[in-house]
């Protein structure tokens, strides 16, 4: 165990130096953070202001600039766990389907007889027809309104489940469509929330899906959960406006009654549009990704009755003119009207792939949250409390490390110094790994690091105690150290695997701060094995080679 | 001779089995007492598990909990409790209170209007008061969180049992599981007795304790296995005693370093994390105890096969690395 080839020594040393390098930015947290913020801001805006240039110069570009993310409990901010009521969408879809079904059935009034919508459970559409014996025909008509489900798992299935009993025709979304619709609803909610929060431009918000229908939102630096809720709750403004012209001049004069708006996707392109919209997002009842007659990805959208009327009148008067789809004062796209759209439903097609069509459909509906959201968890942590926690965490880490170092040196002398170097290297490595992978440090995470300081020496203790025993058994120094390392190895491995198992369980089942703790612990286990087995061993070997001791007091 | 701090002298010959019925009895009694404490006194569940709202207030002037309570009485809130928080790191101009309000309606959270009402009411008795943290958890999530916590502890126990079974023998796995149950139960028990807040972070502490305790136990098992290979005829009880004596120094050493680190965190880490650190610190002591007095007793009772079909490690006794071999 004591033969360490030169390249291995270099590797061990190199890893420690690398760790030091990557952990260093955290010492200058504020400065590096400003530096990073300036870079992102400059990238977003396409130019760099003098303050940004100054902030960027505060930290050399060639040094690593990854930082440990501070969790909400350390930085302060708001945390929300929302549940999306996916069923809301079923009802809206059925309400939107009713006029269409009514018109289709009314066209066949001679066969199916008089029709009447009757009350049905939420998310279902029930119609009574005058001639129950012609139900087969009615079902056929209803079936004609269905479209294939546009999702991978539900491909080839119809989006409507149609059943009939007596004179009652019942329409609901099929299970495959419900699943696809739920997915879309949650995705849309996520997209809307992300857009809402990005608009405010806070640093590193976390917006992620949890489970089937939940969304976790964490925004550092925001005043309160209430504020965050208001921000999410505000509806986006979606409008369809006539296009007057297209320009690349950001200072073009739009003229009276017109406005100049930037394009969302094309850089340096601006549209002059009429300020008063033809229809607005409130008229839109649905937008879904689909395929046009050529099999190209497109987006189907549908207006409610009044929107349909206005849109129909406008499109029939303006064939081959472009109209703009405007979201929050940005032009999403400006397609050309190919034909009058009187049915209230239309299709946006153009050069896009499935991803883009899905995204556009999401954006089209992103005006308002597609379904209501209730909040299951709300947390607000003030920045002062976070700063107190950081200070307390820092102080206790330093004291803990000092106490462990003192105790180790008192117990093992020089070898205790080696172990102490390893412990400190371990803390540095934990920080550097967390900075590299952008892991989040929470208050329990700090406790995890402190705990690791205590347990990281365990591997060294196992080895040293073993060496003591071997020395007592009368072995020579080198032999005792060699045996100490090799005999201790299996205990070290077993002990760390069991710790690793419980850390993994915490990671997969835990949430928020507990997860942060599990991440720190897992990294700590890996780095402590490295420092105890490789780094300490190398230090001992170097010492042996240098002093060639005949006897050792441990 | 250089100074060496040794809490455990060399070559101890303690007979850890002399009072095994007493020590085991203490463990069993402590487990029963913990269970009784949990059943009778109940756990002081935090909002993670019970739902509701907690507000942390901070004020530069001293306040009376009674004044706060009186101020909130008129608001008609359900199930309000107010406690003052003390911490050595607080200066004389920092006074912190935790206000806990039970679940108000099905969403569980106190509405913003109610929150404003609370703040206004407190401002009347204490103009300096400010809210530094407000947290609400709905009953729906809290129910799930309890189940997740139970699953987490269960899954970790089973996974560790499986690993030990793979690496050792089933008797060892069972011994480890009993000592895990011992540690977990005693930790939950102390939370019931002291009525400390039991929340998600306590579960994390419990899992860490569990990992630590098994870690400790495994080191002893590992040594036991090694000793069993070396001596195939010595009575099991003697081999065990020798093993525990051999590893005692390490058990104490690691418990002390861990306790030193956690102790520093407990004193200087602030009140927010104190419960969490306390649970781990307690777990370290209970874990060290169960390693010495619980896990191996189970293995002793179950008996263990003595013929470990592994090559004798003594075979490689003369392997000294080339670099250190002394000249001819």
pLDDT band at B317 (very low <50, low <70, confident <90, very high): very low
pLDDT, position B142: 81
pLDDT band at A351 (very low <50, low <70, confident <90, very high): low
Q: Could you tell me if B149 and B297 lie in one domain?
A: yes
Pick from A374, A400, A545: CB nearest B265? A400
Is A403 in the B-facing interface, judged by CB distances under 8 Å? yes
Pick from A375, A379, A494: CB nearest B222? A494
Domains A6-26+384-547 and A238-339 share a fold: no
**Separation in Å, CA B130 to CA A381, A385, B4:** 12, 11, 52
Residues in chain B with CB shorter than 8 Å from the CB of A517 are: 201, 204, 208
Report yes or no: B123 and B63 within 8 Å, Cβ to Cβ: no
Answer whether residue B324 is part of any domain.
no
The mean predicted confidence, pLDDT, of chain B is: 84
Domain count, chain B: 2
The string of pLDDT tens digits covering residues B116-127 is 888 888 888 888
Question: Rounded to the nearest 10 degrees, what angle do helices A536-547 and A414-437 cross at?
Answer: 140
pLDDT, position B81: 87
> Phi, psi (5° rounding) for residue B211?
-65, -40
DSSP three-state, residue A369: coil
Q: Widest CA span of chain A, in angstroms?
A: 111
- Residues A328-354 as b/e (b if ≥16 CB within 10 A, e otherwise) read beebbbbbebeeebeebbbebbeebee
Whichever domain contains B79, its CATH number is 3.30.70.3220
Q: Could you tell me if B236 and B254 lie in one domain?
A: yes
Q: Could you tell me if B179 and B296 lie in one domain?
A: yes
Q: What is the mean pLDDT of residues A248-270?
A: 79
Pick from A377, A411, A453: CB nearest B253? A411
Within its chain, how far is the Cα of B174 from the centroid? 20
Q: Does the structure show a pLDDT above 70 at B323?
A: no
Asked whether the whole model's pTM tops 0.80, one would answer: no
User: For A87-176, CATH number?
Assistant: 3.30.1360
Q: Which of A233-237, A276-280, B218-222, B261-265 has the lowest mean pLDDT?
A: A233-237
Answer whether residue B321 is part of any domain.
no
Answer whether residue B11 is part of any domain.
no
Q: Could you tell me if B113 and B204 lie in one domain?
A: no
Residue written as tokens 């009514």? A102
Report yes or no: B18 and B264 within 8 Å, Cβ to Cβ: no
Quick check: A380 and B134 CB within 8 A?
A: yes
Q: Could you tell me if B68 and B194 lie in one domain?
A: no
Range A238-339: architecture per CATH: 2-Layer Sandwich (3.30)
DSSP one-letter code for A439 = P
Whichever domain contains B188, its CATH number is 1.20.1640.10
Q: Could you tell me if B97 and B213 lie in one domain?
A: no
Q: Could you tell me if B79 and B194 lie in one domain?
A: no
DSSP three-state, residue A443: helix
Quick check: B258 and A3 CB within 8 A?
A: no
Q: Could you tell me if B33 and B165 lie in one domain?
A: yes
Alpha-carbon gap, residue B235 to B100, rounded angstroms: 58
pLDDT, position A360: 66
Of the residues B91, B110, B137, which one is the last residue of a structural domain? Answer: B137
> Phi, psi (5° rounding) for residue A194?
-60, -45
pLDDT band at A424 (very low <50, low <70, confident <90, very high): very high
More confident residue, A228 or A408: A408
Q: Could you tell me if B171 and B228 lie in one domain?
A: yes
Q: Could you tell me if B174 and B291 lie in one domain?
A: yes
Q: Does the structure show a pLDDT above 70 at A154?
A: no
> Token pair for residue A327?
């979201």
The mean predicted confidence, pLDDT, of chain A is: 84
Query: Which residue range is the domain that position B178 belongs to?
Result: 20-43+141-302
Q: What is the mean pLDDT of residues B271-290?
A: 91
Is A135 in the B-facing interface, judged by CB distances under 8 Å? no
Q: Does the structure show a pLDDT above 50 at B1?
A: no
Q: Could you tell me if B224 and B284 lie in one domain?
A: yes
Q: Does the structure show a pLDDT above 90 at A427?
A: yes
pLDDT band at A425 (very low <50, low <70, confident <90, very high): very high
Q: What is the mean pLDDT of residues B311-325?
A: 52
Q: Could you tell me if B281 and B296 lie in one domain?
A: yes
Q: Does the structure show a pLDDT above 80 at A67?
A: yes
DSSP one-letter code for A335 = P
The string of pLDDT tens digits covering residues A263-319 is 877 778 888 888 777 787 667 777 788 888 888 788 888 888 878 888 888 888 888
Q: Does the structure show a pLDDT above 60 at A487?
A: yes
Pick from A3, A482, A495: CB nearest B215? A495
Q: Distance from B186 to chain A by nearest Cα, in Å?
A: 18
- Taking CA A45 as the corner, what is the angle to CA A44 and CA A46, rounded to the nearest 5 degrees? 95
More confident residue, A348 or A367: A348
Highest mean pLDDT of the ranges A226-230, A275-279, B204-208? B204-208
Residues in chain B with CB shorter than 8 Å from the CB of A513 are: 200-201, 204
**Which string of DSSP letters, residue by residue, matches A403-436?**
HHHHHHHHHHTHHHHHHHHHHHHHHHHHHHHHHH
Is A227 in the B-facing interface, judged by CB distances under 8 Å? no
Residues 6+ apart with CB under 8 A from B39: none
DSSP three-state, residue A270: strand
Q: Please give the CATH topology (third level) of the domain spanning A6-26+384-547.
A: Multidrug efflux transporter AcrB transmembrane fold (1.20.1640)
Of the residues B115, B137, B159, which one is the last residue of a structural domain? Answer: B137
Quick check: A378 and B134 CB within 8 A?
A: yes
Domain ranges of chain A: 6-26+384-547, 87-176, 238-339
């Amino acid at each position: 165990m004591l033969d360490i080839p030169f390249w291995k020594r270099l590797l061990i040393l190199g890893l420690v130096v690398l760790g030091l390098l990557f952990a260093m930015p955290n010492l200058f947290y504020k400065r590096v953070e400003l530096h990073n913020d300036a870079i992102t801001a400059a990238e977003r805006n396409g130019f760099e202001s003098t303050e940004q240039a100054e902030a960027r110069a505060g930290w050399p570009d060639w040094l690593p600039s990854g930082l440990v993310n501070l969790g909400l409990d350390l930085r302060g901010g708001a945390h929300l766990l929302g549940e999306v009521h996916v069923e809301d969408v079923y009802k809206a879809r059925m309400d939107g389907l009713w006029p269409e079904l009514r018109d289709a059935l009314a066209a066949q009034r001679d066969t199916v007889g008089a029709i009447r919508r009757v009350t049905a459970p939420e998310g279902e559409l029930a119609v009574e027809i005058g001639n129950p014996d012609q139900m087969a025909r009615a079902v056929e008509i209803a079936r004609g309104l269905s479209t294939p489900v546009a999702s991978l798992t539900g491909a080839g299935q119809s989006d409507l489940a149609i059943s009939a009993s007596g004179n009652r025709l019942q329409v609901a979304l099929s299970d495959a469509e419900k699943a696809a619709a739920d997915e879309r609803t949650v995705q849309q909610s996520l997209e809307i929330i992300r857009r809402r929060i990005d608009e405010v431009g806070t640093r590193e918000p976390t917006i992620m899906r949890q489970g089937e229908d939940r969304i976790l939102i964490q925004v550092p630096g925001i005043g309160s959960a209430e504020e965050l809720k208001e921000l999410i709750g505000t509806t986006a403004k979606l409008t369809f406006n006539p296009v007057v012209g297209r320009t690349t001049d950001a200072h073009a004069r739009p003229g009276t009654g017109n406005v100049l708006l930037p394009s969302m996707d094309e850089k340096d392109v601006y549209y002059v549009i009429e300020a008063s919209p033809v229809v607005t997002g409130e008229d839109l009842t649905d937008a879904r990704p689909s395929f046009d007659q050529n099999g190209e990805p497109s987006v189907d959208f549908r207006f409610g009755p009044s929107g349909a009327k206005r849109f129909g009148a406008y499109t029939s008067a303006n064939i081959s003119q472009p109209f703009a789809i405007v979201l929050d004062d940005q032009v999403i796209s400006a397609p050309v009207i190919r034909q009058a759209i009187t049915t209230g439903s239309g299709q946006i097609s153009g050069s896009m792939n499935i991803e883009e069509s899905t995204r556009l459909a999401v954006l089209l509906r992103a005006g308002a949250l597609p379904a209501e959201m209730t909040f299951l968890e709300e947390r607000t942590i003030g920045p002062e409390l976070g700063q107190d926690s950081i200070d307390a965490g820092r102080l206790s880490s330093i004291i803990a490390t000092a106490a462990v170092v003192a105790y180790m040196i008192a117990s093992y002398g020089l070898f205790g110094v080696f172990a102490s170097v390893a412990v400190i290297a371990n803390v540095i490595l934990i920080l550097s790994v967390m900075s590299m992978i952008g892991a989040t440090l929470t208050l329990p995470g700090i406790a995890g690091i402190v705990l690791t300081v205590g347990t990281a020496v365990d591997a060294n203790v196992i080895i040293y105690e073993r060496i003591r025993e071997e020395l007592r058994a009368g072995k020579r120094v080198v032999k005792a150290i060699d045996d100490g390392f090799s005999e201790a190895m299996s205990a070290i491995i077993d002990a760390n695997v069991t710790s690793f198992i419980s850390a993994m369980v915490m990671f997969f089942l835990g949430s928020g701060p507990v997860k942060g703790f599990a991440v720190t612990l897992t990294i700590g286990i890996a780095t402590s094995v490295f420092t105890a087995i490789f780094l300490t061993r190398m230090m001992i070997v170097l010492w042996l080679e240098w002093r060639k001791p005949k006897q050792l007091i441990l | 001779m250089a100074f060496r701090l040794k809490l455990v002298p060399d070559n101890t010959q303690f007979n850890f089995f002399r009072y095994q019925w007493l020590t085991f009895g203490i463990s069993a009694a402590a487990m029963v007492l913990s269970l009784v404490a949990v059943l009778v006194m109940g756990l002081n569940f935090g909002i993670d598990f019970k739902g509701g709202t907690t507000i942390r207030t901070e004020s530069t002037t001293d306040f009376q909990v009674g004044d706060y309570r009186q101020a909130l009485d008129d608001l008609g809130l359900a199930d309000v409790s107010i406690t003052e928080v003390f911490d050595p790191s607080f200066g004389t101009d920092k006074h912190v209170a935790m206000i806990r309000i039970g679940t108000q309606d099905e969403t569980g959270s106190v509405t913003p209007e109610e929150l404003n009402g609370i703040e206004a009411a407190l401002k009347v008795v204490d103009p300096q008061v400010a809210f530094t943290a407000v947290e609400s958890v709905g009953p729906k999530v809290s129910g799930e969180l309890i189940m997740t916590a139970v699953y987490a502890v269960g899954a970790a126990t089973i996974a560790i049992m499986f690993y030990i079974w793979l690496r050792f023998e089933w008797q060892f796995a069972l011994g480890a599981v009993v000592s895990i149950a011992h540690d977990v139960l005693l930790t939950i028990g102390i939370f019931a007795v002291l009525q400390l807040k039991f929340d998600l972070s306590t579960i994390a502490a419990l899992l860490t304790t569990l990992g630590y305790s098994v870690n400790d136990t495994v080191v002893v098992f590992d040594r036991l296995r090694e000793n069993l290979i070396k001596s195939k005829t010595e009575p099991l009880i003697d081999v065990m005693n020798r093993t525990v004596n051999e590893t005692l120094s390490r058990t104490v050493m690691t418990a002390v370093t861990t306790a030193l680190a956690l102790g520093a965190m407990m004193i200087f880490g602030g009140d927010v994390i104190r419960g969490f650190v306390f649970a781990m610190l307690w777990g370290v002591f209970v874990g060290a105890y169960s390693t010495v007095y619980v896990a191996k007793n189970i293995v002793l009772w179950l008996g263990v096969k003595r013929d470990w079909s592994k090559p004798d490690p003594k075979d490689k006794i003369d392997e000294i690395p080339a670099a250190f071999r002394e000249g001819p």
